[in-house]
Amino acid sequence: SYVLTQPPSVSVAPGKTARITCGGNNIGSKSVHWYQQKPGQAPVLVVYDDSDRPSGIPERFSGSNSGNTATLTISRGEAGDEADYYCQVWDSSSDHWVFGGGTKLTVL
């Protein structure tokens, strides 16, 4: 089965840039989506199809995907960005949806 690998935690200073990676075999050939989840809340889509943003998501959130790594970039980090972030793909070979293990972003 297809596996997505994320770092368990990432820290960023306020106003600086955070990068959260998502590794997978030839992930560059897939569409990667990113979700933000805060404690006690449902996940929220923040980036889809590698680099597109849903309406209402700040331009500070951006994404890229190439080779074996997809990256979510959060510019000018704010306290309100503290959350768990998950990457997600659809594995066409198994018709299964796959999430990465999640990355806890700390703004300090």
Partner 1 sequence: EVQLVESGGGLVQPGGSLKLSCAASGFTFSGSPMHWVRLASGKGLEWVGRIRSKADNYATAYPASVKGRFTISRDDSKNTAYLQMNSLRTEDTAVYYCTRQAIGDLFVSWGQGTLVTVSS
Applying CB under 8 A, does 61 fall inside the site for partner 1?
Answer: no
Please choose, out of 13-21, 56-64, 67-75, 99-107, the segment that lies near partner 1 by the rule CB under 8 A: 99-107
| Least distance from partner 1 to the Cβ atom of residue 23, Å | 15
- The binder of partner 1 chosen from 24, 63, 77, 102 (CB under 8 A): 102
Assess contact for 12 and 107: CB atoms under 8 A.
yes
Environment class of residue 99 by beta-carbon count within 10 Å: exposed (0-12), middle (13-18) or buried (19+)? middle
Q: Does 63 bind partner 1 (CB under 8 A)?
A: no
* Coil/strand/helix, residue 29: helix
Measured between alpha carbons, how far is 101 from 40 in angstroms, rounded to an integer?
18
Which residues in this chain contact partner 1 in the complex, by CB under 8 A? 1, 31, 33, 35, 37, 42-45, 48-49, 54, 84, 86, 88-90, 95-102
